[in-house]
Structure 1
Amino acid sequence: MTTTVDPPTTTLPTARMRTWHRPSLWFAAAMGVATVLTVAAMLIDHRTLLGSPVWAKLFKFAVSAGLYYFTWSWLVSLLNGRLRKIASVATTVSVVLFAGEYVAMAFQAARARPSHFANTSPFDATLFRIMGMMVAGLWLATLVGTVLLMFTQIEDRAVYWAVRTGAVVALIGAGLGVLMTGATPEQVATIKATGRSDLIGAHSVGVADGGPGLPLLGWSTTGGDLRIAHFVGLHALQALPLLAFGLAVLATRLPRLRESAVRVRLVWTGSAGYAGLVGLILWQAERGEPLIHPSSTTLAAAGLLVGVIAVATAASVLAPARKVLR
C-alpha cells in the first residue's frame, strides 16, 4: 500500500467559529459567567453542605459544562446537510435539559439542600427524580450526536479519529453517573431500620459523602469516589482532539509525524490509553480506594497500563507507515 502523507491540520477549530452551533456556544459562555458568579457566591456565602461550600457543586458543573458545550458547538459544525440539522436539534435539546438541571441545582443550593440523591422531603425526592429524567434525556440526546459524529468528514485523519473516539469515551463517561444513584449498603440498612433515608445514592464508596476531600474538587481522600471516572471520561471529548491537534503542531518540527498513518496510530493509542485510565480509576473507586492513596494492586495495574501504552506508542512511531484507514 502507498504511504499517506498529508499536511497536518495545525489551524485550531476557532478559525471557523462562525459556523459553530450557536445555542451550545452561547450556553458555554453562560457557564463561563456562572463560574465567576459561583466563585463570588462562595466568597460571600460561607454555608456548607456535606462538608463542602453550598455553591461548590455549581462551580464545578459550570466549569465542566462550559468546556463540554464549547466542544460540542464545534463538533456539530463538522457535520453537513441533514446530519448537521439532526445533530443541531439533539445538541439544543441537551443544552435545554442541562440548563434545567443547573437551575434546579442552584435552587437547592440556595436552600442549602442536596440537589442529588436528596430524599429529605417529598419535594426534594420529586425534584431529584425530575433531574434524573433530565439527565437521561440529555444522555440520549448526546448519544444521537455521538452516532452522527461517526459520519464526519475531516481532512486530517488523526483529528477525524480523535473526534470519534473522544465522543464515544465521553458518552461512556457520562453514563457512569448512573453508578452513583443506587442506595449504599448503609442507606439500605437505615431504610430497613427506620423506613427512610435522607439520601439515596452517593459519590463515595466505603465512606459516607461529606468526609475529607481534595481542595476545590472535593473528591474523597478516605474512600473511593465515583465522580473521578465520570469526570475524566466525560472530558475525553476535549483531551483526544487536543492530542490530535498537538500532534499536528509537533509535525511541523518532527518529519515522522507528517505521515498521516503515524498520527492516526498515535491517536488510537492515546484513545486506548485514555479509556484504560477511565477504567482503572473506576476500578479503584469501586474498591473503596482513594485516588491519592492507591494500593500496590492499583499501582501495578497502572504500571502495566503505562507500559503497554509506551510500547504501543513506540510501535506507532517506528512501524512502517501504511495507507490510513478511511
Structure 2
Amino acid sequence: MATIDLSRTLSRIRFPAAPARDGADRAPWHGPLLVNSALMAGLMIVSVIGMLVDDRLLLGESVWLKPAKFGLAFALYGVTLAWILRLPHRGRRGTWWLGTVVAVTGVADVGFIALQGARGTFSHFNTAEDTINRIGQQVFTSTVPGLFLATLLLAVVISWQKLADRPTRIALKAGLWLAVAGMVLGYLMGYTGPQLVRQSDGTVVGLMAGHTVRAGGAHGDAARDGVGAMPITQWSTTGGDLRIPHFVGLHGIQVLLLLAVVLVALAPRYRWLRTETVRAGLLGVAVLGYFGLLTLVLWQALRGQPLTSPDLATAGAATALALLVAGGVTAVYLRARETSTGFEDRRSEA
C-alpha cells in the first residue's frame, strides 16, 4: 500500500493512499508551478518593501497592495496544485501540461498586475489608451480563460481518480471545483457597470467595470470601488463586493486540505476521529457547509449588501447554515460513538 507523506508539505502525518499508478508512488515536484510560486513569493517581498517606501495610493491603498495580495494567492495555489500533481494518478503527462498552463498564465497575469501597480494605475477593466495598458488588457483577455480552462480540466481529471485516502480525496476534489466556481464568479464583475476613478497621480481614468454592486444600481459613472472599504482586503462597506465570493471559492482548497490535516493531527487525542470513515464524514459536512458559505456571500453581494452589514435575511440564512453544519458534525460524532461503543461491547463479549 502506497502512502501520501504530508510531512514535507502540510504536516508530519502520513495518509494511506490508493495504489500507485503509472509505475511510481509519486511524481517529481512540478517545476513550472514551483517556479511560479517562487516568483510570487519574490513579488510579495518586493510589494511589501514598496508599501513601506512608496507613498502612492490607488483608491486609498498603496499601489503595491494588490500585487502583494495576488502574489500571496498565486503562491499558495501554485504550491497546492504542485502537491496534488505529485500524487499517483493516471494521465500524468496531460496534467503536467495543464499545471504548466496554470503556472505560465499566472505569471503573465500577476506580472501585468505588478507592472500596473508600479505605474500607479489600474490593471483590471482599465480603458486607458496608452500602449502598455492596451497590451496588458490583451494579455488578460487571452490568459485568464486559459487559466480557467486548465483548472477546469484538472478538476475533471482528478475527480475520476483515487489519489489518496477518502478524507483527503474529498478535500482536494471539492477544493478544485470550488476554485473553478471562484473563477467563474470572477466574470460577474464585468457586469457591474463603468466607473471613473483616479490614478495615483490624480488623473481620472475610466474602468469598464468594477467589483462593487450597489443596492438599486450605481448612479452614472460614479466611483464605487474604494468608496468605503475594509482595510487590506479593500472589500466594500457601502455595497456588495463580488471579490468576496471570488476569494471564498479560490481558497476553499487550502481550507479543506488544512482541515483534513487537522483532523488527523487530533485523532491520537480523540479516539472517535481515528477512523477514516469518520474523518471523511466530517470533510463531507465541511464541503457542504463551504459551498453553502460560497452561495451565501454571493447572494449577499448580488443584492448590493456589504459583508459587514448583513440584513435579517442574510443573518437568518447564515444562522441556518451554521445550524446545519453543527447538526451534521453532531450526527457524525454520535454515529462514531455508537460504532465505537458497539465495537468495545463485542470485544468484551469475546
Tell me the TM-score normalised to structure 1 length.
0.87
AA matched with 1:280: L
Aligned to 1:294: 310
Q: Is 1:100 the counterpart of 2:108 in the alignment?
A: yes
Q: CA deviation at 1:152?
A: 3.7
Question: Which runs of no fewer than 5 residues in structure 1 stay unpaired?
Answer: 1-5, 189-196
Report the CA distance between 1:23 and its aligned residue: 1.5
- 1:161 maps to a residue whose letter is I
Matches within 5 A, 1:162-181: 162-181=171-190
Query: Which runs of structure 2 are paired with 1:1-326 in the superposition (5 Å)?
Result: 11-12=6-7, 14=9, 19-81=28-90, 83-121=91-129, 123=131, 124-125=133-134, 127-184=136-193, 198-206=206-214, 208-319=224-335
Give 1:270 deviation, angstroms.
Answer: 0.1
Task: Please identify which structure carries the higher helix content.
Answer: 1
Tell me which moved more, 117-126 or 34-43.
Answer: 117-126
Deviates more, 1:220-229 or 1:302-311: 220-229
Q: Matched residues, percent identical?
A: 37
Bigger radius of gyration among the two:
2
Question: Which sits farther off after the overlay, 277-286 or 113-122?
Answer: 113-122
Residue deviations 1:252-294 (CA, integer Å, cap 9, x gap): 1111111221111110100010111111111111111111121
d(CA) in 1 for partners of 2:6, 2:130: 53
- Residue segments in structure 2 that go unaligned for 5+ positions in a row: 13-24, 197-204, 219-223, 341-350
Say how many residue pairs are matched. 306
Aligned counterparts of 1:167 and 1:59: Cα–Cα separation in 2 = 23
The secondary structure found in structure 2 opposite 1:36 is: helix
When the two chains are superposed, the root-mean-square deviation of aligned CA atoms in Å is 2.5
Distance 2:107 2:164 in 1: 34
- TM-fit CA distance, 1:155: 4.3
CA contact (8 A) 2:105 2:146 kept: yes
Give the conservation status (yes or no) of the 8 Å contact 2:26–2:87.
no
Larger RCO, structure (CA 8 Å, separation 6 or more): 1
Residue 183 of structure 1, CA deviation: 4.6
The equivalent of 2:347 in structure 1 is none
Normalising by structure 2, we get a TM-score of: 0.81
